[in-house]
Amino acid sequence: MKASKRRADTRGSQLNTLHHRLRDALNLCTRYRDGSRMRWECRDIETQRHVLRSIVAFLDCVSEEASSNPLLKDSAEDIVRALVGILHQKSEATTSIAADAVCKLASVLITSILQPYLPDLVHPLSCLSISPQLQVAIPSSRALSILLSNLSKKKENEVWEVLDKEDITTHLIKNILDFSASTSSNVYFQEMLALLAIILLRWPQSRYQVWSNVRFMNMLEDFCVNPDPSLGVALLKLNSAIALCSYGAKTILEHGETIVGAMVRFMGSSNPLSVRIEGFKLAQCLMLTEQGCSRVVSMFCEPIVEAIVCAMIEWKLKEGKGANDQIPLMHEACRLAMITRWPGKHHLYFWKKGIDKVLVDILLPNFVGKYPSYHTYPLEEQIAIARENLIDNPVLVLRPYVWDILGWLAIRYAEDYDPKFSENEAHFDVLTAAACVAFEDIMGRGNQLCHDDVISTFRSESAARVVLMMIFSSCKYISSKARSMLCEVLNPNGERYLKQLLYTLKSPSSGVNLGMPNLVHIVISLIGLTCYLALPHYEGFIVESSKTLLSYMMGRSSESFCIPRSNYALHLKSNLPGRACCFFHPEEWEGKDVILFHNLWALSLSIHHSGSKSNCSVMAVLQTENVRTELVNKLLEICKDTSNCGARWFASYILTYFSYFGFPSELGVKIGKAFNQEDYADIELILADGTSFSIHGVLLMVRCPSLLPPEQHFDKGTFDDSSVTNDSDNWHGKFRKEIRLSSHVNRLELEKLLEYVYSGSVQAEENTVKRLKILARHCGLHHLSELLSRRIPEWATDIPSFDLKSALGQGRNTFWDRL
């Protein structure tokens, strides 16, 4: 204790001495006022060196613990003035030392104290970093990169004005291109690429100059053919910064065979950890959208999946510190594995590469190898083993990723696949058991969830959600296994948990916005109730559940509860290296209002089960006049909100029980007014009895091309462009194409189908539904057919679009004169 105090006293005495020397050195030079700022000036090189040595000695003595030392705070302004003054001299003899001193200052000075001085320091360094002299450019670029990395958002605009005034992006591009053809050292390229990357990450407006420069992008491609390992991190970071712009990502993917190929190689286990992590970050940027994911998967599906799986499991092969060092890589691999949210052949490769074993290793580290015949054990024993092994977990932070990955893989599984005929059975069974055990634990905690720590509450949603997705998997084996396992796990406390869920949703406080934990508790309650409704054992609660769900939906305020899942699922928070731009993200299927989504899913399921005689009272409640009118209006309103795709589907499904079929929308109402109006109609559909409908070909081609004869083409012979006139009276004789339909087509069903084609929705009584369903199926209107059949929508089923751009065609502008 005394020795420690003596060391501290000695260090303090030494710091005081160096501080006095620094003051003496700074006083050797001239101070003057330039407007509102004090300036420091010294033209003597030896004096500058003396000052710099004093600054460096003082900063070296400032330990990490003493970074808030009053001496440092008091000296910061004078040190910055001196460094700015010396850097403005642009002397080759002192620039390198001054730049290194800037790096030291940034490392010891508290970031908040550094912020006011950043614009002054950035100005001279931005000029020096683009110098043609390597000994000046390299240290200046390094110092500027460090300063920009420590920049706060409040100072971004002010610093960007400095950088933009120097046109630094253009100069960096030029210098990199000029030196790429020379034999300059890799150090220069590393610093230039790193600086450019930081600028692109911070300021999206600078990205266009890079990705639109064909010569520069070709140069990057050339460097990626046989990439130098020492340049790996710099190249990957720069490409990530470019890919944060959707157009930049598209440009990189156009160079896919080289840039993306190099990225995949850098993700391999033979590379240093830092390089691999940057490789995964670039992959996340490129696969930020379903289109980007599809493009990368089409080129490098197997190696990408293999890299992800290997990175997720490597920590098990290490021990001690080596295992802990792997956690950041595992994080990035798990984030990239979230591409399982999108369909594609990568799902098959994940299973081929053993993702089930990897997920078991992360969830239950002590399971693999200990229970080789797990799937043959009795169900009770399987549950007990899963419960025991789920408790001890050194990588708990990754658990939400595991649940989500498992959920995506399960819900998109092939319908006819059966894990019993593969080596996956034991792993899949224990994953199912673990998910159901976690679900039961969450249901058991009930209202205590709101009083748990926030992170624990948020993580609970992922654990409940994975069971929901497994139950509703298109794979019969997965769905059946999840239902039977959950039913066994919930016994004997299932009914008590279910009553608690219903109580939570009935509680007056559930209709009030009490903060995010309470909202997540509502989401978990709705997910839990949906899972219960899928189990036949609890069908006695369907009527009560339906009333509760209906009352909750009708009584809640849409504005106060409008939250997307990403607002509380912390693992879904963007971990991109910078701000993305120019991306047009389609909403997740859950939409911007996840509570409404799960409310409607649960209500749809309860109504679906109401078909049995024992539950006909559910429909009796819904069909009462006051409930029916209010509910239908509410559902029609939901259908018009294009930001909630999944909610629209479930709302449309419920509307089928009130004779509404389709997807009502404001645009559909407007277009629907043109149905059977002769103005500008160019096709006449004629039935066998001679009655006819005047139709607009552009809509028929986009929305229901099956009604057109196979030989019908609208780019030759159908329209005479020279006859175009604004006189609607002349239109009918010159532009009409007759199409005669089969005698099997009934007028009423065709009228209803065309009404759907025009407006996107239609009302039809039960006596019309059967024949309309047959006609819809023959016409390829899959969405209408599914609704007429009253099938619960599958996950991520899209909404038919009213987008008419496809009518423009390619080459010749088909229908251009009708749009």
Q: Could you tell me the two tokens for 684?
A: 């006449």
E strand intervals along 334-458: none
Contact between 501 and 449 (Cβ < 8 Å) = no
For the ranges 194-208, 464-478, 579-593, 739-753, which has the lowest average pLDDT?
579-593
Top-confidence residue, 68 or 361? 361
Residue 156 scores a pLDDT above 80: yes
Mean pLDDT over 228-241 rounds to 92
How does pLDDT run across 172-218, given as a tens digit for each residue?
999 999 887 665 568 888 999 999 999 999 999 999 999 999 999 99
pLDDT band at 420 (very low <50, low <70, confident <90, very high): low
Mean pLDDT over 369-374 rounds to 80
Q: Could you tell me the two tokens for 328?
A: 């950041």
Residue 368 scores a pLDDT above 70: yes
393: buried, middle or exposed (CB in 10 Å: 19+, 13-18, 0-12)?
Answer: middle
Mean pLDDT over 725-736 rounds to 47
pLDDT band at 814 (very low <50, low <70, confident <90, very high): very low
pTM: 0.90
Amino acid 422: pLDDT:
57
Amino acid 728: pLDDT:
44
Mean pLDDT over 47-76 rounds to 84
Contacts 24+ apart (CB under 8 A), 209-217: 209/169, 209/170, 209/173, 210/169, 210/173, 210/242, 210/248, 211/242, 211/245, 211/247, 211/248, 211/251, 211/252, 212/247, 212/251, 213/173, 215/177, 216/173, 216/176, 216/177, 217/251, 217/252, 217/255
In this structure, the strands spanning 692-695 and 683-686 are antiparallel
Contact between 169 and 210 (Cβ < 8 Å) = yes
pLDDT band at 718 (very low <50, low <70, confident <90, very high): very low
How does pLDDT run across 7-53, given as a tens digit for each residue?
555 666 888 899 899 999 988 876 666 655 567 788 889 999 999 99
Mean pLDDT over 400-416 rounds to 91
Contact between 739 and 686 (Cβ < 8 Å) = yes
Alpha helix segments (H runs only) across 62-133: 70-89, 92-108, 111-114, 118-128
Nearest to 617 by CA among 770, 627, 496, 763: 627
Residue 162 scores a pLDDT above 50: yes
Top-confidence residue, 392 or 184? 392
**What is the chain's mean pLDDT, rounded?**
86
Q: Could you tell me the two tokens for 317?
A: 């092969």
- Of how many residues is the chain composed? 819
SS3 per residue for 565-619? HHHCCHHHCCCCCCCCECCCCCCCCCCCCHHHHHHHHHHHHHHHHHHCHHHHHHH
Amino acid 380: pLDDT:
92
Mean pLDDT over 241-259 rounds to 93
Amino acid 103: pLDDT:
95
Amino acid 74: pLDDT:
86
Amino acid 509: pLDDT:
60
How far apart CA 368 and CA 385 sit, in angstroms, is 12
Other C-beta atoms closer than 10 Å to the C-beta of 114 total 20
Nearest to 761 by CA among 596, 626, 649: 649
- Specify whether the backbone of 722 is left (phi greater than 0), alpha (psi in -120 to 50) or beta: alpha
Amino acid 811: pLDDT:
39
Amino acid 662: pLDDT:
96
Distance of CA 41 to the CA centre of its chain: 51
Residue 541 scores a pLDDT above 90: yes
How does pLDDT run across 741-779, given as a tens digit for each residue?
988 899 999 999 999 999 999 999 999 999 999 999 999
Alpha helix segments (H runs only) across 446-591: 454-471, 476-490, 494-506, 516-533, 542-555
> Which range has highest mean pLDDT (448-452, 705-709, 743-747)?
743-747
How does pLDDT run across 119-133, given as a tens digit for each residue?
999 999 999 999 989
